[in-house]
Structure 1
C-alpha cells in the first residue's frame, strides 16, 4: 500500500530508478541490471497460465502498489534509449539462505509466521487455534507458492552479470533481457500452512499452552485477535493468491548447472526456526559507534576564517564516519576553517586532498605519511602542482597534529 507521507514504494522504485538512469546517462553506462519481481505479470493473462519473460504493458496489472511500482520501473528501463545492454531480474518470493537460513528481512513467507507467533505468545496455540490460524491465511490446499532461497537468486544474478553479453539472450535499447529466477517446483500451500503452524507450535511453551487452554471456557476465546490478524495480513493478501507458472527459458539457458534448491518441509522449518530465534529482526541492533569521531570534531572546530587566505586546502574524506567536504585556508602560517559561502579563492590557489578518514588518522599517529600514501595510491592530490599541493597538505597535517597534542 502506498504511504502518502513518504511516497513509498514509488519514491524508491520509480523516482529512484529515474534518477539512477540519469546518472547512467551522464556517466555513459552501457550495461544495467535491475532486480524486479516475478509478480509484475501475474494478472496479465491468467488464461495462459504462464508469466512470460516480457515487459508488462499495463501498470494496472500489478496486484498492489509494490508490484505496480516495479512495473513502472521496468517500463522506464525498457524505454531508456542510451543503455544498450539492459537486464531485468525477476525473482519470486525470496526467503533466507538455503543452508544457514539467514535473512535480514522478514516479508512474504515470514509475515503470517510472525503474526501467528505473536498471537501464540499471548494466547497459546492449541489445535483449535492452529485450525483457526490456517483458515485465516485464506490459502487453499491445492494452491501453491513459488519460493526461492536468497543464496540461489544472488548466485544466479552475479553469474549473469559476470557473463559476456554476447553469451546471453540479446538485449537492445528498446527491449531489455528479462530473466525469471523462479522455482520449477512450487511449494504446495498445504505444506506451507503445515510448516508455519508446526514452527509456531514448536516455539510455544508446552506449559504456557496448557495453562492457556485451562483458563478458557470455549475454543473461540483462543482467538480474540482475529480482527487484528486480518488487518495486519491485508497488505500481504496479493502474495497469498495461488501463483501461476513462470516461464524461465532464458534464465535456464544461462545457468543450466545452477538448479534451484528444493524448498521442502525441512527447509521451511529451518527458515521459520531461524526467524523465530531472531525474533524477526527485532529489536534492531544498535549502530556501531563511528570511528575517529574525536578527530572529526576537531576537523569541524578549527577557527573560522576572518579574512583573505593565501592558500586553500579542500579536504574530501571518505569512509565510515567521514565528515562533509571541508575547506581550510592558510594565512600567516596559521590554518582556519573556510565556510562554503566564503570560498572565493581561484582553483590555482587551492589544493584538494581526497583520502579515507582512517588514513588521515594513521598519518596523525605516525603509522604512515602522505608521500607514502600517495605513492601507494591510497589518497589523491589535485589542484595545485603536485609538489606544492603535497607541501600544503603536509603543513596542514602538521598543524592538525599540533592542535591534537
Structure 2
C-alpha cells in the first residue's frame, strides 16, 4: 500500500514508518522541510525506494502543497495515518494547541478528500474522556469538562474525523500513555513517565552530594492509583491492524488492561536507578513538604490529575481487532516495565518538557 503519515518525525510516527516499511509498504512522510526529516530519512535509507518526503505544513490549506504534487498524489495514496499533534498542558498555549490539533486535523481531512484516499486512521488520545472515570469507545461531547486544552482539542478533532465517515473509511485510535519499546526500552519521548524518571535521577544526584545523610524525598502522588502505560511497539501493532481489519466510523482504545500502580512504577524506577530514597506522599499532605521537596515536585505538578485517579477503559473494539489479527492483548508485568526503564536510562539523556509530537 501507499501510506501517508503526518507526524512522521515524532516518536510514534517514526516508529510506525519503520514498521510499515518492514511490511514493504511505501510511505509518504509529511514534514515542514526535507531537512527536518533528514535524520529519519537516513535511518530508513536501506528502504530508500519506498520512502517519499512531502514538504507540507499541517496548519495550511492543502498542507501548502503545490498543485502539481497534489495531482501526482491523487488516487495514489491508500491510507493516511494522522499522528501529528501538539502535546502540551500549558494553558497559555491554548490557541496554538487548537490551531494544530483541530484546524490542522480539518486541513488533513480535506486533503484526504482532495486526493481520494480510501482510509483515514486518526491517532487521538485515550484522555479525551475528560474528568470521567470510565472511558468508552464512543465520542464524548465537546462540552465535557476537560483537564486541559490538549484533551479538549483532541476531543474536538475526533468529532471532525467522524464527520467524514461517508467520504472515506475513518477510524480513531486512542493510545493511553505511550512509553518505550517493550523489549529494548527504546524511546525518544520526553513526556510523562520520562519526566518522572528525570525527577528521580535528580534526587539521586542530590543524595550523592551528602552521602552521610539518610535522604528520603517525598513525591506527591497517590500510590494506589494506576497509570495506563502502553509500550510503543504494542501501539504500533494495533495501528497496523487498522489497515486490514479496522472498521469505518469506529473508535479503538489502545490501552493497558492491567495498568501498573504508581507505587509499582516508582518501585521499578528506583530498582532501575539503584536508588530507594523516594517516598510517595498523598496530595493532602502537601503541607508537610520541605522547601526543597516543594521545588522537586513542581515539574510534575502538571500531571497531578493523571497521577491521582484511576481510569477504566473499555476496549471491546480493540479486542475484536486483536482477535482478527491473531494478536494477544498487552500483558505488562514488572519485568517488562523495568526492562523499558533500563533501556531508556541506558541509551538516552532524559529531559522533561512539553513536546511536539511530530507536528508538521
For the 8 Å contact 1:42–1:244, the answer to whether it is kept is: no
Partner Cα distance (2:130, 2:317) in 1: 18
Tell whether 2:264 aligns with 1:191.
yes
Partner Cα distance (2:235, 2:93) in 1: 32
1:81: how far off? 6.1
Partner Cα distance (1:8, 1:129) in 2: 42
For the 8 Å contact 1:2–1:9, the answer to whether it is kept is: no
Partner of 2:229: 147
For the 8 Å contact 1:123–1:223, the answer to whether it is kept is: no
Structure 1 gap ranges (5+):
205-221, 284-405
Matches within 5 A, 1:146-295: 146-163=228-245, 168-169=246-247, 171=248, 176-202=249-275, 225-256=292-323, 257-281=326-350
Q: Report the 3-state secondary structure (helix = DSSP H, G, I; strand = E; otherwise coil) of the residue aligned with 1:178.
A: strand
**Deviates further, 27-36 or 80-89:** 80-89
1:82: how far off? 5.2
1:101: how far off? 0.8
Which structure is larger by alpha-carbon Rg, 1 or 2? 1
Q: Report the 3-state secondary structure (helix = DSSP H, G, I; strand = E; otherwise coil) of the residue aligned with 2:349.
A: helix
Partner Cα distance (1:23, 1:74) in 2: 17
Partner Cα distance (1:18, 1:267) in 2: 38
For the 8 Å contact 2:319–2:329, the answer to whether it is kept is: no
Aligned with 2:221 (options 138, 146, 150): 138
Partner of 2:195: 111
1:21: how far off? 1.4
Q: Report the 3-state secondary structure (helix = DSSP H, G, I; strand = E; otherwise coil) of the residue aligned with 2:274.
A: helix
| Deviation per residue, 1:238-274 (Å, 9 max, x gap) | 3213332111111111112322342222222222222
Partner Cα distance (1:274, 1:223) in 2: 33
Tell whether 2:140 aligns with 1:56.
yes
Matches within 5 A, 1:235-384: 235-256=302-323, 257-281=326-350
1:94–1:129 CA distance, 2 compared to 1 (3 A): farther
Partner Cα distance (1:104, 1:225) in 2: 29
Partner of 1:74: 158
1:145: how far off? 1.9
Partner of 2:61: none
Partner Cα distance (1:6, 1:38) in 2: 19
Partner Cα distance (1:22, 1:40) in 2: 23
Tell whether 2:186 aligns with 1:102.
yes
For the 8 Å contact 2:170–2:250, the answer to whether it is kept is: yes
Q: TM-score, normalised by structure 2?
A: 0.62
Q: Report the 3-state secondary structure (helix = DSSP H, G, I; strand = E; otherwise coil) of the residue aligned with 1:111.
A: helix
Partner of 2:35: none
1:42–1:258 CA distance, 2 compared to 1 (3 A): farther
1:8: how far off? 3.8
Q: Report the 3-state secondary structure (helix = DSSP H, G, I; strand = E; otherwise coil) of the residue aligned with 1:190.
A: helix
1:20: how far off? 0.8
1:72: how far off? 1.3
- Say which structure, 1 or 2, has more relative contact order (CA 8 Å, 6+ apart): 2
Partner of 1:26: 114
Partner Cα distance (2:141, 2:188) in 1: 33
